[in-house]
Amino acid sequence: MLVYWIRLLSSLVLFISTTPVEASEAYSIRRTTAQDNYDLTSPLHKSMLVAVGCFWCGEQAFEQYAPGIIEAVSGYAGADGIDNPTYQNHKGHYEVVLVEYDPSKSSYEVLLDYAWRNMDPFDGNGQFCDKGFAYEPAIFYGDDQERDIAERVKQNILQEYPSWLEADLKIRILERPRFWIAEEYHQDYYIKNPGSYGYYKNACGRSKRLKDVWGESVYQCYHDIDVGCESLENVTNADGTLVEAEVNRKGADEPEASLLPQKYWIFIGASVGGVCLVFIGIYILRKKNGNYEK
């Protein structure tokens, strides 16, 4: 609950301190589907939709570590969700990430491997410290081919981890619903507020749980800007061609956790400033009344 309020208040501080940007100003005009209100940056690109818990973390995981990513966009999606959802009111929606990718440099199947390894597949009530429907894990397919791929990736993982039981895996594979872009202050949060983001991610226990579930070496392979694992240096693109993995297109540094979230530093600064003003006021009054000598 504490981490939830930290995250909520951090969002409000950022919202207050930034100028809102309309979706039409932030993205060019090319639809991913007839319904989504995000526009791909090129007609040659494709997109996928996943719910991996906190969308801030989903953005970072795909943009920094997954191959062929053009943009990862925070938003909301749910078959029974309300229209025009907001962070304060997104009933019936998952927090999701729409991942725009270059199919010549990656594929839906490759990116599903990354999606799985950024989720706790045994927690169907949320992800890590975030609980509730909005944070439940899900993979979305846009057509029958993607559904078959999603099921195949799941079976591959069960073969890779033979001690796991299919009945224990809680990640839903669902038909892709409409995607709604989240507020601008949520986009690229890990870049705009690396200290606060790093604090939240650590406090939420995300990295630790992923290491416990998938293993330390697997975690490091799937969270490496330098693509140090030989098995991931090359990936199969959508045409079935083996290509060199290209990651971290935005060139962002990996965020390091700050000692405290941004809102606490604002509060501390305001408190210290207030105390100083009080003492200065007392000093001036006492001096004016002759209680202090030169």
Task: Give residues with Cβ within 8 angstroms of 288, minimum separation 6.
Answer: none
Which has the closest alpha carbon to 183: 60, 254, 79, 90? 90
CA distances from 96 to 50, 158, 234 (A): 6, 24, 27
Of 177, 115, 174, 183, give the one whose Cα is nearest residue 146.
Answer: 174
What is the phi-psi region of residue 113: left when phi exceeds 0, alpha when psi lies from -120 to 50, beta otherwise?
alpha
Indicate the burial class of 126 (C-beta count within 10 angstroms; 0-12, 13-18, 19 or more).
middle
Neighbours of 197 (CB within 10 A): 27
230 CA to centre of own chain: 26
**Of 54, 57, 129, 204, which residue is the catalytic one?**
54
Q: How many CA atoms lie within 13 A of 188 on its CB side?
A: 12
Note if 129 is an active site residue.
no
**Integer angstrom CA distances of residue 250 from 49, 68, 187, 256:** 20, 12, 13, 17
Q: Where are the beta strands (DSSP E) in 23-85?
A: 46-51, 69-77
Separation between Cα atoms, residue 280 and residue 214, nearest integer Å: 57
Active-site residues, by number, are: 54
